[in-house]
Amino acid sequence: MPPRPNSGISVRKARPGDIDAVDMIEQRSFTADRFARPALKRLLASPSAHALIAEIAGAAAGYAIVLLRSGSSVARLYSIAVDPAARGQGVASALLLAAERAACARGRRLLRLEVRASNRSALSLYRRAGFTLFERKRSYYPDGEDALRLEKRLEPRKSGGRSAH
């Protein structure tokens, strides 16, 4: 069972005007494999991407981007990042849950992602949330590190529940 997100965290759909916050989180979170600001801007505006912002007390604490290819039953968690100052507070869990719900609400039955084989904290999060390994991509990253491809089967939500999207 995934951990319960912190009740002080809210998750909403990102807007193009959130580019400064998303770019800041990206810069603070990654030294390698970082998205350039123009790429983030395109993703926030893309109709085939569902971008989410997590906030604590009204301040951006993390973001996630889910890609939703037309005609596919598979969604891809393309990026998820939490500001280092907000780590350990349940932000990643809240974003992951919202990403799953957004994908499921759009008829997707699987959520897939790639993660660095050395990223133990992310792997722990994904395993707790029910993701399983389905492939190892050798030398996937520019520095030669392997990627682990994980997936989770999404269950349609029963009516009457609250949604995070």
Active site residue 145: no
Q: Of the residues 114, 140, 141, 145, which is catalytic?
A: 114
Question: Which CATH architecture fits 9-114?
Answer: 3-Layer(aba) Sandwich (3.40)
Q: What are the beta bridge partners of residue 151?
A: 112, 132
Spatial separation of the C-alpha atoms in residues 126 and 152, rounded to whole Å: 9
Q: How many CA atoms lie within 13 A of 129 on its CB side?
A: 30
Residue 88's alpha-carbon distances to 83, 125, 126, 153, in angstroms, are 10, 11, 15, 26
Using the structure block, give the residue that is written with the tokens 């979170």.
29
Active site residue 78: no
Residue type for 122, please?
A: A
For 58, residues 6+ apart whose C-beta sits below 8 A from its C-beta are none
| pLDDT value of position 6 | 52
Question: What is this structure's pTM?
Answer: 0.88
- Describe the crossing of helices 120-128 and 91-105 by its angle, rounded to 10 degrees: 50
For 135, residues 6+ apart whose C-beta sits below 8 A from its C-beta are 148, 149
Q: Cβ–Cβ contacts within 10 Å for residue 21, how many?
A: 18
Residue 60's alpha-carbon distances to 45, 91, 143, 147, in angstroms, are 18, 10, 30, 28
List per-block mean pLDDT (blocks of 10 residues) for the chain, which spans 165 residues: 61 94 94 87 93 95 96 95 94 96 95 96 95 96 94 77 44
Q: Of the residues 26, 126, 140, 141, which is catalytic?
A: 126
| pLDDT value of position 163 | 44
